[in-house]
Amino acid sequence: MQRFLTCLTGMIFPLLLTSCFQEDSMVLPHEQGEMLEGRVAMGGLYGTQVFYDLRENEIAASAPVTAWDLSFACGEGAWTIRLNSSKFMYAGNSRDTSFRQVPVAEELGMKFDASNGDPDSTAISDWVVQTEDTVWSRREVYLLDLGLDTMGNPLGNMKVQFETLGQDYRIRYARPDGSDEQVHVVVRNPLREQVYFSFRNGVVDVAPPPSGWSLLFTKYTTMLVTDEGENYPYIVNGVLLNPAGVTAALDTIHDFMELQLADTLDLELTTRSDLIGYDWKYYNFDAGVYTIVPDMNYVIRDRDGFYYKLRFIDFYSDTGEKGYPHFEYLRL
């Protein structure tokens, strides 16, 4: 009887959610999966970004965190430009359309992208104006701090002017003094959620197709708060959600092994990119190691509508090197 009720719950649960996810296809009744384990190699200096696919239980792609500088949205009607926050990049708008100017960071109110993935909270959020019929660039020059390499060395600055070119992006960039000026057209790729661009190498292949990954293991910039309540930017090492349809929620109430699909009805899943984030671990100063925080369960809903429960069990490799998140998960 208990087995029958469990199966019946799995059949009814997707129907209860159709009103919340109108654009998603209904997930057919299915058996619960088996417990799986995953481990990714970010490395001791966290120099690698790893895209992980929960459905296939495999690494879908990986790339050095320094492989790219900007990403350009490819979705219809989307014009979001993001900084590579894993390098501690930030930017400021000069409010001037003259490319001859030499922008000074201290005069621009430099900003970081918000780690929650909100497209309206990016440092380059207001470069374009959209109406019902037209899209046009303000053509204002931005100063970009290119952040740090994996050893913590500064990578310098770049001034950039963004323009629209039909449905594509045209970028003009140079060093602040005008040297090394170049122009590049970034073409939308309908098979990708974002196109990644490097000032050194042009368009680069970083992420797999949106349907091919669930979680991104990476370092990224977020805002922490001082004891006085002031925000300050800081590099952390953790997990970001695939912005193309993956949602998640934190559960601290249920025992991980007992957590069932029906229990997720009480959870509010969100598209917030840093929902899983970095604080599932903490640094134990007495022991000099990272320790996994107990009783932090994550419920993840993938693009296909399947639900998973996941928890972290280690942050070290078999040889004791940090930067190797180890987790276990199960499809509900």
Q: In one letter, which amino acid is 244?
A: A
Q: Where are the domains of the chain?
A: 31-63+210-331, 68-204
Nearest to residue 54, comparing CAs of 239, 302, 242, 258? 302
Contact 239, 215 (CB under 8 A): yes
The model carries a pTM of 0.89
Per the model's pLDDT, the better-predicted residue between 35 and 17 turns out to be 35
**Which candidate, 222, 223, 199, 215, places its Cα nearest to that of 146?**
199
The pLDDT assigned to 19 comes to 36
The conformation of residue 293, written as its DSSP 8-state character, comes to: P
- Write down the pLDDT at residue 2: 38
Place of tokens 């990954």: 213
Q: How confident is the model at residue 32 (pLDDT cuts 50, 70, 90)?
A: confident
Q: What share of the chain is helix, strand, coil (3-state, %, to 5)?
A: 10, 40, 50
The per-residue pLDDT for range 108-140, each reduced to its tens digit, is 999 999 999 999 999 999 999 999 889 999 999
- What stretch of H or E contains 330? strand 322-331
Predicted pLDDT of residue 17: 38
CA distance 153 to 147: 8
What distances in angstroms separate CA 299 from CA 18, 97, 141, 170, one per listed residue? 18, 46, 42, 40
Select from 92, 126, 94 the least CA-distant residue to 112.
92
* Dist CA 156 CA 175 (whole Å): 9
Q: Residue 28's pLDDT is what?
A: 57
The residues, ordered by sequence, that sit 6+ positions from 65 with a Cβ below 8 Å of its Cβ are: 46, 47, 48, 49, 84, 86, 87, 150, 218, 219
Strand partners, 240: 216
